[in-house]
Amino acid sequence: MDIIFRKPQFKDLKKIRSVLEQWTDQEEVDKYCQRITNEINGIIEYNTHFWVGEWQNEVVGVAGTSDILPKTKEYSQGNNPIDLKILYLDNNIRGHGFGKDFLDFLENEAIKTSHDEMIIRTAKRYKDTAWGFYQKMGYELVGYIDDGTAVFRKSIS
């Protein structure tokens, strides 16, 4: 099963919204759909970049990276870290290795732009899904911020 990773397009927004709605609240869905729309229109904030994963001609995932946030900077050990903002997959395709493939792709994209470390913040509500996945992928749980949000770190250089 090969997944294709590419930049989002306007035609993808409905499916991106659908994937996001499976995982997060409406405020977050709207925020990320607006940021993705902005990027499609050439408006980049906080060096945020998004990609979609496409499988069998359908968007099945969405991910984004950005400059590291000040509140996670203290957890970084790299010289040029990057934040993983989001990584969501359609529930219907989970468990087939697409998450691993997407994360590998994002790490390689970060390396291409001279980043040497990826920092991930993931909310407490994802403790039973994302936390174990990131640890399985070689990320180290390095602390907590806000309301129990976990911070993970991995050297990618």
Domain ranges of the chain: 4-155
CATH number listed for the domain at residues 4-155: 3.40.630.30
CA-CA distances (angstroms) from residue 48 to 51, 56, 111? 10, 27, 15
Can you tell me the distance from the alpha carbon of 68 to that of 120, in angstroms, rounded to the nearest whole number?
A: 9
Can you tell me the distance from the alpha carbon of 79 to that of 102, in angstroms, rounded to the nearest whole number?
A: 24
Output the tens digit of pLDDT for each of the chain's 157 residues.
589 999 999 999 999 999 999 999 999 999 999 999 999 999 998 899 999 999 999 999 999 999 999 999 999 999 999 999 999 999 999 888 999 999 999 999 999 999 999 999 999 999 999 999 999 999 999 999 988 999 999 999 8
Distance from the first to the final alpha carbon of the chain: 27
